[in-house]
Structure 1
Amino acid sequence: MSCNQVELEGVIIERESLRYTPAGIPIIGFGLSHQSQQNEAGMARTVKCVLAAIALGDIAVQVDRLRDDRVVHLSGFLAMKNLKSSQLVLHVTRIEYSQTR
């Protein structure tokens, strides 16, 4: 299996400080608060969630500069937080900006 793509819109929350890997690559962790209406089995459903996310490189620098109330559209893939945790984290590979909420 090779399909692992996620697109999600939300508000950046709980941003960590920008740091750098030993190789000098910028990295930042943050939360994304999402709320939407989705159709499931023919019924409208309100969806609310907070997803852990991480960004590296130029995207990490962009996230570090954003206000916490900024609405963003993120694309990326899911991976385990680390080898000892099964918690999923969105690894952001693209970011687009929307209006503030």
Structure 2
Amino acid sequence: MNRVVLTAQLVERQALRYTPAGLPVQDLKLLHESEVSEAGVPRKVSFEMRAVGIGTVAGPLGRWAVGDTATVAGFLGPLFRGKSVVLHITEYQPQL
């Protein structure tokens, strides 16, 4: 299974672009910060990652304001010949 659910802050949003097939694409950079338990020990986790929304989710992602937080869900896929990964967002829920 390849499913990711993450609460993150929007750090950067690129201009909306389109695939050759005409699908809208929204490229983002996200910041996640949390505390988790690993081997019974609390651990702070903080990282930035690239994300992309393709198709109908691109519109709502384009309205996400830099600095705001949301919960996103999707899957990890390769970025540029498989050298790293990008989160493909399929669901977006802003935090109120």
Q: TM-score, normalised by structure 2?
A: 0.94
Q: Show the counterpart of 1:68.
A: 66
RMSD: 1.0
Deviation digits for residues 54-83 of structure 1 (CA, Å, limit 9, x no counterpart): 001121111111211221101101011022
Residue from 17, 20, 36 that aligns with 2:18: 20
Aligned sequence identity (%): 33
Q: Extract unaligned runs of 5+ from structure 1.
A: none
What number of residue pairs does the alignment pair up?
96
| Shift >3 Å, 4+ stretches | none
Letter paired with 2:94? Y
1:32 has 2:30 as partner:
yes
Equivalent in 2, 5, 9 of residue 3 of structure 2? 5
Give the aligned partner of residue 97 of structure 1: 94
TM-score (ref. length: structure 1): 0.90
Mark the runs of 5 or more structure 2 residues left unpaired by the alignment.
Answer: none
